Structure 1
């Protein structure tokens, strides 16, 4: 067994970055959630986030690339059910996106590796994990990485960095956790780059079943949605819906392992480890990017 050069530590959590435009966007999404029955106007939403209609429209369009009105249409049950109906199987969805083989997506953007059985049993003993808190298009996030790749990306939402770090320590109880934003900042830039310059490597600690589910999630193309049934069928376990749901919820790497693209078959977005508002924001933002890439400007 490898001797640890870094005894397990729990160093101070860095301060979260200052609030950005995304906080206003998230406030607007929450307001629309709570008041959707009365169909609030642009003026109503702008007032709820303490901006003029002009400034809110500009802020939202700069963040999403589309208007707030178009964005909200992406989150309606009818639209979401239509997207599910288009999905077919994961293999069909990947082929439609030009990814004819499951491994092709890994080659293009993300490679996923599981820890060794020994490291799993020992809770990551001998592994050094650097972490830092950084701003993303979806608010502040805590990113953690080993020398072999990103092992955690937690979108904080209303949670504290301390809570995210506690979760990280529970997942890797015997690893050495080191506050090292200089290590994680370049990885964060790659993770949210519009055009990734090279593949990102992920190192995950999970059961064989969980890793299998996470690999299936990586095959869901940008802008596509699938159901839990799709995932269960893709891994050859069509009756294991509850276990699939648990594995999806346990995904340790937000956004890069796109568990947000899994919704309930009724067109309901369902639960999300990092908050329902964040899930809505990511899904709407990704839908907008696919439209913009296709030249379908709203």
Structure 2
């Protein structure tokens, strides 16, 4: 079952890439299905089961026009809302559920020799992930190509930590965001390594509501450092906790979705999936 889900998502990701590349010609369902080697019927059913909407509806949520409209809302809110008040009324806000705690120098001194880290491999709607935690919270989430290299990447961050492959309650609570109503979840704690500037940027990302988008320059304004767009981009690229710290919600000011540490097609998949969850529930 796990392998089949990964195969299905790889097909979805391939389809999204095709839609992104060919959106101007408005490809038909048959054309997209053929591109991923499925019949129209099976592709429509698989895609709708995953996204909750049809491929045609999904395309609307990853279109430049939709992105630009969301950015207009974001820019308008910057004019009359402070960083502290930059929250939506929706109950599906990351920052209502996530606390970031920066590690102390002693906690990652000498490559994390004082840390005990549990890790596990977990399915998500966007492919397999590696999820790692300390006793204080989640310290790492990344999308996985293969489990061996994923673990090596984690160990590069904390080479002298003690590791155990074990699924703990902290990890389970964090991954429930994919399957359960957020309003019924316990608060998610993150325990991560970063500079003061990086932590500010990652905190600012948490104020972007699910289904919304922002830009690098808007994030720089939110941390009261409007000239730091490039540094903001570097900090976003160094995000150690995929999805929960929503760096995927930051796009170019032109409305193009742009690059993503774990692949631009996966970024489009997450943005579209979140858009479908939010906008298709709007009365």
TM-score between the two structures when normalised by the length of structure 1? 0.84
Alignment of 1:1-298 (within 5 A): 17-20=2-5, 21-88=8-75, 89=77, 91=81, 97-98=88-89, 106=95, 108-156=96-144, 159-181=145-167, 186-196=172-182, 197-295=185-283
Q: Count residues with an aligned counterpart.
A: 274
* Whole-Å separation in 1 of the counterparts to 2:175 and 2:87: 28
- What does residue 3 of structure 1 align with? none
- Quick check: 176-185 or 114-123, which moved more? 176-185
Shift of 1:229: 0.7
* Whole-Å separation in 1 of the counterparts to 2:274 and 2:169: 27
Q: Which runs of 5+ in 1 are unaligned?
A: 1-15
Whether the 8 Å contact between 2:173 and 2:186 is mirrored in structure 1 is no
* Whole-Å separation in 2 of the counterparts to 1:185 and 1:206: 20
TM-score between the two structures when normalised by the length of structure 2? 0.89
* Whole-Å separation in 1 of the counterparts to 2:48 and 2:90: 30
Whether the 8 Å contact between 1:213 and 1:244 is mirrored in structure 2 is yes
* Whole-Å separation in 2 of the counterparts to 1:290 and 1:113: 28
* Whole-Å separation in 2 of the counterparts to 1:38 and 1:85: 26
Q: Which runs of 5+ in 2 are unaligned?
A: none
Shift of 1:271: 1.5
1:195-250, CA deviations, whole angstroms, 9 ceiling, x for partnerless residues?
Answer: 13211111110111111100111111111100001110111111011110000010
* Whole-Å separation in 2 of the counterparts to 1:260 and 1:231: 13
* Whole-Å separation in 1 of the counterparts to 2:211 and 2:90: 14
Whether the 8 Å contact between 2:137 and 2:189 is mirrored in structure 1 is yes
Whether the 8 Å contact between 1:144 and 1:184 is mirrored in structure 2 is no
Cα distance, 1:207–1:95 mapped onto 2, change above 3 Å: closer
* Whole-Å separation in 2 of the counterparts to 1:24 and 1:181: 28
Q: Cα RMSD between the aligned structures?
A: 2.3
* Whole-Å separation in 1 of the counterparts to 2:232 and 2:155: 24
Cα distance, 1:182–1:204 mapped onto 2, change above 3 Å: closer
Match of 2:119, SS?
Answer: strand
Cα distance, 1:169–1:74 mapped onto 2, change above 3 Å: same
- Quick check: 268-277 or 71-80, which moved more? 71-80
Shift of 1:23: 2.4
Whether the 8 Å contact between 1:139 and 1:155 is mirrored in structure 2 is yes
